């Protein structure tokens, strides 16, 4: 029996265009003993595209507590495990954090194969200052929590980035229009895909852009900060 523990590798996968994956990521996915994925049906398309035949197992919010101990056992026996998400970088607003914490507590080596993420492309494409920003994860579903999150941006000087589910977009834009009516925002949709677009303007203007039909695809909201005020004696 192999007495040396294996390694857990978090592997970033494309957020849309299947070409946006590194050579190293493909090599890792081919060489590990098992790949953990949020949605195995979704991830199978990616693995098939690159002729990756590694066994694929589900790992998501609904089973992480139950299956994590068995994954840690496999790692301790010497198996190498890769964790991927449906799109982008594992551990960002998905169950990756839970497994990483468990692996570190068990003394397992954890490493990263970096790559695609929707957050940075949306931030850069917004046209807003990027030298300092905050990431708020998914916008809150409950109205009260959403209102508090937006209120916290009233005096925020940094650009703020959020993930937004399609069915929440109009609610979020309405809350922004009510609280920050003049604040420039941008909503990036379907980044790297055929119908990629970035809508920029106030919340009302962006809301008008998305007013017709159902909003589909992955969405990232970027809210410009208020900017730094000049001191009275600045020259």
pLDDT of residue 59: 95
User: Which of 113, 132, 160 delimits the end of a domain?
Assistant: 113
Query: 111 exposed, middle or buried (CB, 10 Å; 0-12, 13-18, 19+)?
Result: exposed
Are 124 and 216 in a shared domain? yes
* pLDDT at site 2: 52
Residue with the bigger pLDDT between 95 and 42: it is 42
Does any domain span residue 231? no
| Judgement on whether residues 143 and 46 belong to the same structural domain of the protein | no
Determine, yes or no, domain membership for 68: yes
Give 91's pLDDT tier (boundaries 50, 70, 90).
Answer: confident
pTM of structure: 0.89
Q: How many domains does the chain have?
A: 2
Q: Are residues 73 and 134 in the same domain?
A: no
* 109 shares a domain with 15: yes
Q: Residue 233: pLDDT above 60? A: no
The partner residues of 11 in beta bridges, in order of sequence, read 113
Residue 235 lies inside a defined structural domain of this protein: no
- Both 81 and 150 in a single domain? no
- Whether 229 is in a domain gets the answer no
What confidence score (pLDDT) does residue 216 get? 87
Packing angle of the helix pair 64-77, 96-105 (nearest 10 deg): 40
Confidence category of residue 146, pLDDT binned at 50, 70, 90: very high
Residue 233 exposed, middle or buried by CB count within 10 Å (0-12, 13-18, 19+): exposed
Residues 82 and 161 in one domain: no
Note whether 99 and 182 are same-domain residues: no
Same domain, 18 and 73: yes
Domain boundary among 113, 132, 153: 113
Q: What is the CATH number of the domain that holds 153?
A: 3.30.950.10
**Nearest CA among 2, 3, 1, 7 for reference residue 99:** 7
Average pLDDT value for the chain: 93
Domain identity same for 139 and 79: no
- Which of 113, 148, 175 corresponds to the end of one domain? 113
On the question of pLDDT at 230 being above 80, the answer is no
Q: Is the pLDDT of residue 1 over 50?
A: no
Domain span at 197: 119-223
For the segment 93-119, what is each residue's pLDDT rounded down to a tens digit?
A: 777 899 999 999 999 999 999 999 999
How many other β-carbons are positioned within 10 Å of the β-carbon of residue 134? 14
């Amino acid at each position: 029996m192999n007495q040396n523990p294996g390694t857990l590798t978090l592997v970033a996968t494309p957020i849309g265009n299947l070409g946006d994956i590194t050579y190293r990521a493909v090599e890792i996915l081919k060489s590990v003993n098992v790949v953990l994925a949020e949605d195995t049906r979704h991830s199978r398309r990616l693995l098939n595209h690159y002729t990756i035949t590694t066994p694929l197992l589900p790992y998501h919010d609904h089973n992480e507590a139950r299956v994590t101990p068995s994954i840690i056992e496999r790692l301790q026996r010497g198996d190498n495990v890769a964790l991927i998400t449906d799109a982008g970088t594992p551990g960002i607003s998905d169950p990756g954090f839970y497994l990483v914490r468990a692996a570190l507590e068990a003394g397992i080596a954890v490493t990263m194969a970096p790559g695609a993420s929707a957050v940075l492309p949306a931030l850069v494409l917004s046209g807003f200052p990027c030298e300092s920003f905050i990431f708020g994860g998914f916008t809150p579903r409950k109205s009260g929590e959403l209102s508090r999150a937006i209120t916290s941006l009233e005096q925020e000087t940094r650009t703020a980035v959020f993930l937004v589910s399609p069915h929440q977009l109009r609610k979020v834009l309405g809350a922004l229009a009510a609280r920050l009516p003049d604040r420039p925002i941008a909503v990036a949709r379907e980044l790297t895909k055929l119908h990629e677009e970035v809508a920029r303007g106030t919340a009302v203007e962006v809301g008008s852009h998305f007013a017709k039909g159902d909003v589909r695809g992955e969405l990232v909201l970027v809210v410009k900060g208020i900017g730094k005020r000049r001191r009275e004696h600045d020259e």
